[in-house]
């Protein structure tokens, strides 16, 4: 039985055009997480990540701050069971 979890998050604020996706990918890969990050048409950034809960919590802490050029107003997130469908972390 897998101890991995899935974090689904939407980051609101000034989060597009400020290297948010690139720094999120770098952070997720450094934490050995899998999944993806992408811009949404409404100006938010969506993140779907899978891995051990402590590493996902570290990623969530990063998402609440963002890179220095971003302004994070709110992060909506839910925890789910991991599906294991991803092999790496990518920008979509």
| Domain range for 41 | 17-83
Q: Is residue 1 part of a domain?
A: no
Q: Is residue 92 part of a domain?
A: no
pLDDT of residue 1: 42
Tell me the C-alpha distance between 83 and 69, whole Å: 33
pLDDT digits (tens, 9 = 90+) for 7-21: 999 999 999 999 999
* Pair 11, 47: CB distance under 8 Å: yes
Q: Is residue 3 part of a domain?
A: no
For residue 63, how many other CB atoms are within 10 A of its CB?
Answer: 25
* Pair 24, 74: CB distance under 8 Å: no
Report the CATH number that the domain containing residue 53 is assigned in CATH.
Answer: 3.30.70.100
Tell me how many domains the chain contains. Answer: 1
What are the CB-based long-range contacts (under 8 Å, 24+) for 21-24? 21/45, 21/91, 22/91, 23/62, 23/66, 23/67, 24/59, 24/62, 24/63
Kindly list the catalytic residues: 21, 39
Q: Is residue 5 part of a domain?
A: no
Q: Is residue 2 part of a domain?
A: no
Structure pTM?
Answer: 0.95
* Pair 47, 27: CB distance under 8 Å: no
Q: Is residue 59 part of a domain?
A: yes
pLDDT digits (tens, 9 = 90+) for 31-90: 999 999 999 999 999 999 999 999 999 999 999 999 999 999 999 999 999 999 999 999
Q: Is residue 30 part of a domain?
A: yes
Q: Is residue 41 part of a domain?
A: yes
pLDDT of residue 3: 84
Output the six-digit token pair for 40: 């949404």
Confidence of residue 2 (pLDDT cuts 50, 70, 90): low
pLDDT of residue 73: 98
């Amino acid at each position: 039985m897998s101890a991995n979890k899935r974090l689904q998050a939407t980051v609101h604020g000034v989060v597009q055009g400020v290297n948010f996706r690139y720094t999120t990918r770098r952070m997720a890969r450094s934490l050995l997480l899998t999944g993806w990050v992408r811009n949404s048409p409404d100006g938010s950034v969506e993140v779907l990540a899978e891995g051990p809960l402590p590493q996902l919590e570290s990623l969530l802490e990063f998402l609440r701050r963002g890179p220095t050029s971003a302004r994070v107003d709110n992060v909506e997130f839910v925890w789910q069971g991991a599906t294991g469908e991803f092999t790496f972390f990518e920008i979509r």
